[in-house]
Structure 1
Amino acid sequence: MRKETLSSSTDTLDTVPDTSSPAYAASNPITRTFDIFASAVTRWAGSPVAFGLAVISIVVWAVTGPVFHYSEDWQLVINTGTTIVTFVMVFLIQQSQNKDSVALHLKLNELLASHRPADNHLIGIEDASEDELRRLAAVYLKMTAEKNGEAVAGTSSKAA
């Protein structure tokens, strides 16, 4: 019953895509498994052990250069290895980044919703187009300039 409430509240907010909602991940075993795997790999990849293994691999590759006479095959080994690791890591890191982004937006939405003077229209703004974001940014820049202009004018009139 809790999952249904979570799913319907996400749907009514219309700010988080269905595929990123916790209810979707909980109901799809492939997505849940990939999420767990991606989180574990990205945590490990950012560890000192992973960095050490990468450095050791490069040193071993460099040391074996003279043994293989710096051949094209020797170079191909490092090029292929790094390309494969980079290609796979892009997807794993992006999954973790997407999850972190959704969590951050939900936290910010909670802060906006709980703060009475805040403009609640900004909840879900991450789904806006680039043009809409630029127009909104221009409005806020104009508001800031007007406030700074009023503050400066008010300060100078009090000083006079």
Structure 2
Amino acid sequence: MTGRREDMPSSVSGKDMSPFDRFAEAASSFASKAWFFALCVLLILLWAPSILIFRDIDTWQLIINTATTIITFLLVALLQNSQTRANEAVQHKLNAIADGLADLMEAHSEDKSRLAQDMIELRDAVGLEHREGTRG
């Protein structure tokens, strides 16, 4: 296989992750649990009767609107980070599969010109000849 070890799919996550990436991964894992949804529902259930304390409908609505906007804004940023890294991992895996397949095709193409042409098309389609990895 022509792929270098550092370009392998396993290098997309793990110890090479920045502190922010690790935090985003933990937040994504936290937010994807059923009990996080239950916590959000509990927040709404606690907020709803607070109308009796505030009496002013604008203040009451401002509290939930502000809280949900801040939470949503932060979670979108964190989840986007996790999604981007997941997409990179999938791309690395696909590149490794295509690279391995192209190497296999090349090894068996000496006597089969059609297979050699297919290998060239695969390498061109995936960009195996010109890429140095999907990481910038």
Q: TM-score, normalised by structure 1?
A: 0.57
Count matched residues.
105
SS at match of 2:54: coil
Give the superposed CA RMSD: 2.7
Q: Which residue matches 1:38?
A: 24
> Which residue does the alignment assign to 1:120?
123
1:51 and 2:37 correspond: yes
Task: Give CA-to-partner distance per residue, 1:89-119, whole Å, 9 cap, x none.
Answer: 1110111011001000011111111223561
Give SS of 1:65's match. Answer: helix
Quick one: distance in 1 between partners of 2:56 and 2:73? Answer: 25
Q: Closer, same or farther in 2 for the Cα pair 1:124/1:71, shift >3 Å?
A: farther
The yes-or-no answer on 1:101 pairing with 2:104 is: no
CA distance in 1, matches of 2:36, 2:42: 10
Consecutive unaligned residues in structure 1, runs of 5 or more: 11-20, 126-160
Q: What is the aligned partner in structure 2 of residue 83 from structure 1?
A: 69
Q: Note the residue ranges of structure 2 that are not aligned, 5 or more in a row.
A: 106-117, 129-136
Q: If the length of structure 2 is used for normalisation, what is the TM-score?
A: 0.66
Structure showing greater relative contact order (alpha-carbon pairs closer than 8 Å, 6 or more residues apart): 2
Identity %: 34
Query: Residue 54 of structure 1: CA displacement?
Result: 0.2
Aligned equivalent of 2:50: 64
Give the whole-Å Cα distance in 1 for the aligned partners of 2:81 and 2:24.
7
CA separation in 2, counterparts of 1:102 and 1:54? 30
